[in-house]
A and B are shown apart, each in its own frame.
Chain A
Amino acid sequence: MKKTTKIVLGAAIAGTLALTGCSTGSGPNEGSDESRLVVGSFGGDYDSFLKSFVDPVFREAMPDTEILYSSGDTATLKTKLLAETGSERGTFDVVQLSDKDMPAMKEAGALLKLDPSKINNWENIQESLIDDYCVPHIHSAIGITYNPEIITDEITDWGQFFDPDFASKAGQWERWSDYVFYGAAVDAAGGDPGTDLSPGYDTATDAAKLMRPYGTSTQIKAGLISGEIAALVNTRANAAQWSAESGQEFMSVVPDEGTREYVSSSCIPANSQNVAAAYEYLNAELDSSAQQGFAEKMFYAPTVTNVELDPALHAAISLSDDEAKRIYTPDMAAITKAMPEMGRLWTEATR
């Protein structure tokens, strides 16, 4: 009896190992080579959309190359990228970086300077977003998002947001706390705050003491939808996403004094092992069909001008000409250097 049990068990284990062993791949891999493209991205929905919209376009250009998405979030990606900087063979071929992370990676020398001639849609990239090292993938204005059911006044500027009455009805996700600081800096400067955000620190921390802090984006989304908070500062895209999800209609305002945009860019690490494929992937990302897909599903605005969007969608996610005039190009390097301090101020104020 015991022997039979042993044999059965042994067979079961072997069987399980065999079955699930299919996913281990073929032993140590060499980072990437001619037949693979490794993409490091944000994870979650972003990755799903990349797979749905960008992969097909990429495959048309390079049908034999395997596309692999590295799991893990931005934090992991940044660490790995940094760890690999300086060596000749890296793991990644394409990395998606938010505007906050790009300056540090550039400074570290992790990125490859792009050759515009290899990017098909280069001429059509919006002028304000052009960068030597990365192509802008999606962008959206950072503004005041509020629930018109609860806040019945029309909100048009930062001054209104920082009014204690309003601020006490607002909330913010910790990771977006720097948006509040930027808004405060704009408010203090009456316009483009330039490289120094500190004039706005007091206004921001005063408001932070009244605002409701959230630890994850899931929670703040739930907070807005349930009415726990009535406003926050985030991208127009988020506002549109959450509106679509909940069936409510949240307003996203580009304040009169102005604001900046959030930009997500795609870059090629300097030690990529498949640069040719990397360029093709960037091309696929800038392809009008892929851009359209992201616009329709994620509500982020296209970064290239040769995309046809449904007028209603365009109105909802893009900037009107008037609004576009109020968008400042931020000095992201300066902002990221100030982040630790702003983060501390935020944490202390929201205790």
Chain B
Amino acid sequence: MKKTSSHSRLYSWLLLGPGVLLLTVMLIIPMLGVLPFSFGERTSSGFSGGGFSFDNYVRLFTDEYLRGVIIRTFVIAAVTTLLALILAMPMTYFISRSKPRLKGFLMILILFPLLAGGVVQSIGWVAILSSSGIISQWLQSSGVIDRPLEIMQTPQTIIIIMALIDLPMIVLAIQSSMDSVGDSTERAAQSLGASKFRAFWTVTMPQIMPGIVAGTSLAFVLTVNAYPTPVLIGGSQVRMASPEIYSIVTRDGDWTQGTAMALIVVALSFVIVGVYAKLMSQRFDKWRR
């Protein structure tokens, strides 16, 4: 039992202090600082032309183009996360049941794309997938196709590439839960006649659910907010939120619309993840019974 004396409460605040201070000063306040812009009137000279209206927010729902960007971003993020999860499960399982040395090595290998950073990864993929890239040239020279390969700047390509980038995160999240569940319970279920898959599904899955929810939520949000990959790979054909906001602000000079969009995106991600987590925990409780 933890004793929370007033002493440790004080220490607690002291220890949390620097972190919370940093977050407040460098995140919360600046974001609140640009919030007023979103209610202002558009101006080409400055951030906001003053006034107060919800026009910019309304436009996000009524304007076909803007609405499209937002919907596209969230849909792509959802599909990406799902794909990443589907790929992550077998991989995590495999890694989890591997011998320790192999495990450590595999974990590093898995983390590698994540740590390489979006910029380097995307540059590599551009070299591979662009219409004047390696695969395109190879396919053309071997006669398989007669025109340059057009798979860049499509939603499918972005989804796959971002799923690969999100993958490590989900593996990480599920990994330790899967480890702690261990073989023995599953084996026990199998010895009682359950198939391997059934054993996994009924025994292991429920226990790693929290990890899955945490991992997928994180991956989802990171994908929604992604910047270098959508820019380099999606280009102008697949417009996602972050590059679009940046473009609205810098190319169009419209801070009012840009900030409104940013805030809606943040709000929507919170809501979606919140609902998702709630739903999952309800189902998960049911499942456990």
Residues of A at the B interface (CB closer than 8 Å) are 74-76, 78-79, 82-83, 85, 103-105, 107-109, 174, 213-216, 219, 222-223, 226, 228, 336-337, 339-340, 343-344, 347-348, 350-351
Contacts and interface: CB of A to CB of B under 8 A. Distances in A.
Interface string B135-164: 000000000000010000100000000000
B161 to A, nearest CB: 15
Nearest to B248: A340
B113 interface: no
B44 A337 contact: yes
Nearest to A73: B250
Interface size class of B (residues with CB under 8 A): 20 to 34
Contacts of A340: 252, 254
Given A340-B252, A343-B252, A82 B132 contact: no
B44 A107 contact: yes
Contacts of B254: 340
A228 B246 contact: no
Given A85-B46, A228-B131, A104 B253 contact: yes
Contact of A79 (B44, B148, B249): B249
Contacts of B236: 174, 213-215, 347, 350
B8 interface: no
Given A108-B46, A347-B65, A339 B251 contact: yes
B251 A343 contact: yes
Contacts of B17: none
A222 B132 contact: yes
Interface of B: 44-47, 65, 130-132, 148, 153, 235-237, 239, 246, 249-254
Contacts, number: 63
B237 A213 contact: yes
Contacts of B131: 219, 223, 228
B46 to A, nearest CB: 5
Contact of B45 (A75, A107, A214, A228): A107
Contacts of B237: 213, 215, 350-351
A242 to B, nearest CB: 14
A348 B246 CA distance: 19
Contacts of A219: 130-132, 235
8 nearest CB pairs, A to B? A215-B235, A75-B250, A108-B45, A107-B45, A340-B252, A174-B236, A215-B236, A222-B132
Contacts of A174: 236
Contacts of B153: 215
B250 A348 contact: no
B124 to A, nearest CB: 15
28 contacts: A74-B250, A75-B246, A75-B250, A78-B250, A78-B253, A79-B250, A82-B47, A83-B47, A85-B46, A104-B45, A105-B45, A108-B44, A108-B45, A109-B45, A213-B236, A215-B237, A219-B130, A219-B132, A219-B235, A223-B132, A226-B148, A228-B131, A228-B132, A337-B44, A347-B65, A347-B236, A347-B239, A348-B65
Nearest to B254: A340
Given A219-B132, A219-B235, 13 more contacts: A74-B250, A76-B250, A79-B249, A104-B45, A213-B236, A215-B235, A215-B236, A216-B235, A223-B132, A337-B44, A339-B252, A340-B252, A350-B237
Nearest to B249: A79
B217 to A, nearest CB: 30
A336 B235 contact: no
A75 B148 contact: no
B207 to A, nearest CB: 36
Contacts of B132: 219, 222-223, 226, 228
Given A213-B237, A228-B131, A344 B65 contact: yes
A187 B247 CA distance: 29
A350 to B, nearest CB: 8
A340 B236 CA distance: 14
A222 B131 CA distance: 10
Given A215-B235, A216-B235, A104 B250 contact: no
Contact of A75 (B44, B47, B235, B251): B251
A174 B130 CA distance: 17
B228 to A, nearest CB: 13
B64 to A, nearest CB: 9
A207 to B, nearest CB: 17
A245 B246 CA distance: 32
Contacts of A228: 131-132, 148
Contacts of B252: 339-340, 343
A228 B136 CA distance: 13
